[in-house]
Structure 1
Amino acid sequence: MIFSVCRGWVALRGADGMLVAAARRGVVLSCVTLAARKGLWVLDDSRPHLAAPPRSGHASAARGVIHWNTPTFPRDPDSCEDSLENALVILARCQPYESALATWESAFRQRLVDPAELERAPLPPIARRLVEEARPFADSGTETIFLTRLAWLDLAITPQVWILGHRVDFLIGERLIVQVDGGHHVGAQRSSDIAHDALLTLHGYHVIRIGYDQLMNQWLWVQRTILAAIGQRLHRAA
């Protein structure tokens, strides 16, 4: 069954509610909202982020974060979703740098955007920095954030290293391993992690295991712990 959404728009019963609401308000889904809908890593998408043309007063009634902007790439007038390229440019100015970098790297890793196209576009300075620094082979958003926060440290930090039959999240120097646990580290996965930690210890490695909440919300403790280990030269081979 079809119903009228607004002038020029109709929808089927059961249509995506966010798209219907966007059509009614004359906005498009963009920024972190669109990134999350495309399966990219985002830090927070609790409120809808929308984009609208400058001086589009009727969009002010929309609920959520509204980005009034002139798009870098022309918007399809028949779509209620922004292009992912436009969403990334908006996100670059909306989100903290490390979070934006994680989302951009997620888009590059999944090959959902072409970095070369973005490089040729007239990007604002913060987006230009992101397209230059984003790595297409980053494994996850937590990896990006961890590496960004320790970029000042004058030590080799290597992500996703295979050691003794398993992949570890980070190897600092030669012997210090940092593992970041997510919600899936339970049951059989947890038992496997504990067994591998023991094997690493028996072979002379030192393991620091932290949780997602500690990485995101208790960073000072995480950094102090890592620096204490480095101060004791636990990152060095004997």
Structure 2
Amino acid sequence: MRTHLSLPGWISASGGIAHRQAALAAGFTIAAQRAAVRAEQVARLRRNWLATDAAPPDLRAAALSGGRLACVSAARRRRWWIPETASAELHLHVDPHGASPVMPPTDTDTPPMVHWTRAIAPPPGYGLLESVEDTLAHVAVCLPPEDALVVWESAVRSERLDVEALRRVRWNSLPARACADAVRGLSDSGLETIFVTRLFRWQLTIVHQVMIAGHHIDFLIGTRLAVQIDGYAFHSSATQRSRDVALDAELTLRGYTVLRFTYAQVVHDWPAVERVLARAVAMGAHLA
């Protein structure tokens, strides 16, 4: 059905880049598409993609390559939580039996990372992102185990994935199967995933997202050690800070030891965080 927008306007409204078949379905004939290309109103990328100046560089690069955004590049595009240490290089997924990709120019001297793998799940019809399952599979083999699990936890929350269904996927690597076994879908942030993963070896009872005093507590270690992890975006306002202080006071009055850590502490100064927690456990703060 024809839209009231011009072809360039429709493409820009669609994210700056669109498949020619999608444009055709929107009512723009092949002749209209060719005319827009000749008039330099839109650019044709390879055979099947039309783009305006609004096209994001990563999607433009994927279209030029003949592949799809993959791994951490696809995860970023989906707004999953990505560890700071993850590489910024472009990741592309190309069918191992398809034509050789054309490597697009990038903003850096680093060439794109190409994943030559058979797709686990069919990709979206006219999209430039690989499937969610393929993104998870590539993340599992590209990132260190802890970082990969952080991304998986974020994906489960963001995409509302069922963890049991993930475990039934026929993963193509041991790292992906390990992530599927480990993911719980309980963490509200990557910070919380990092925290619980690093303390797993302590073999203590650690319960996530416990309701105490009418509020969710990030972690309860044992029965009395309450731990809160503050991501800056959610705890930076004066109002939120006041609520945090009031909650800490209420928990203390109820007999809990309360420890609160920031994003910077967990990500950049983990040894200091671990020492504080170890001292608390040594003092029996986690016991009733």
For the superposition of Structure 1 and Structure 2, which TM-score range results when normalised by the shorter chain? Answer: 0.7 to 0.9
After superposition, residues 30-41 of structure 1 pair within 5 angstroms as: 30-41=70-81
User: In structure 1, how many angstroms separate the alpha carbons of the residues matched to 2:260 and 2:75?
Assistant: 29
Identity %: 38
Give secondary structure in 1 for the equivalent of 2:135. Answer: helix
Residue equivalent to 1:146:
195
Matched, 1:66 2:109: no
Query: Is this contact kept in 2: 1:50–1:64, CA < 8 A?
Result: no
Query: Is this contact kept in 2: 1:170–1:178, CA < 8 A?
Result: yes
Structure 2 vs 1, CA of residues 132 and 226 (structure 1 numbering), >3 Å: closer, same or farther? same
Task: Tell me the TM-score normalized by structure 1.
Answer: 0.87
Matched, 1:207 2:227: no
**Residue 121 of structure 1: which of 170, 184, 187 is its match?**
170
Aligned-residue RMSD, C-alpha: 2.5
User: In structure 1, how many angstroms separate the alpha carbons of the residues matched to 2:77 and 2:160?
Assistant: 12
The one-letter amino acid paired with 2:91 is H
Q: Which structure is larger by alpha-carbon Rg, 1 or 2?
A: 2
Give secondary structure in 1 for the equivalent of 2:138. Answer: helix
User: In structure 1, how many angstroms separate the alpha carbons of the residues matched to 2:244 and 2:124?
Assistant: 48
Matched, 1:234 2:285: yes
Structure 2 vs 1, CA of residues 21 and 213 (structure 1 numbering), >3 Å: closer, same or farther? same
**Residue 138 of structure 2: which of 75, 90, 94 is its match?**
90
Give secondary structure in 1 for the equivalent of 2:277. Answer: helix
User: In structure 1, how many angstroms separate the alpha carbons of the residues matched to 2:202 and 2:216?
Assistant: 23
Give the paired residue count: 237
Residue equivalent to 1:3:
43
Residue equivalent to 1:80:
128
After superposition, residues 22-37 of structure 1 pair within 5 angstroms as: 22-37=62-77
**Residue 185 of structure 1: which of 232, 235, 238 is its match?**
235
**Residue 223 of structure 1: which of 274, 279, 283 is its match?**
274
Residue equivalent to 1:51:
93
Question: Displacement of 1:57 after TM fit?
Answer: 6.2
Give secondary structure in 2 for the equivalent of 1:150. Answer: helix
Runs of 4+ aligned structure 1 residues displaced above 6 Å come to: none
Residue equivalent to 2:207:
158
Give secondary structure in 2 for the equivalent of 1:151. Answer: helix
- Can you give the 5+ residue segments of structure 2 that lack an aligned partner in the other structure? 1-7, 9-41
The one-letter amino acid paired with 1:50 is L
Task: Tell me the TM-score normalized by structure 2.
Answer: 0.73
- Can you give the 5+ residue segments of structure 1 that lack an aligned partner in the other structure? none
Query: Is this contact kept in 1: 2:94–2:101, CA < 8 A?
Result: no
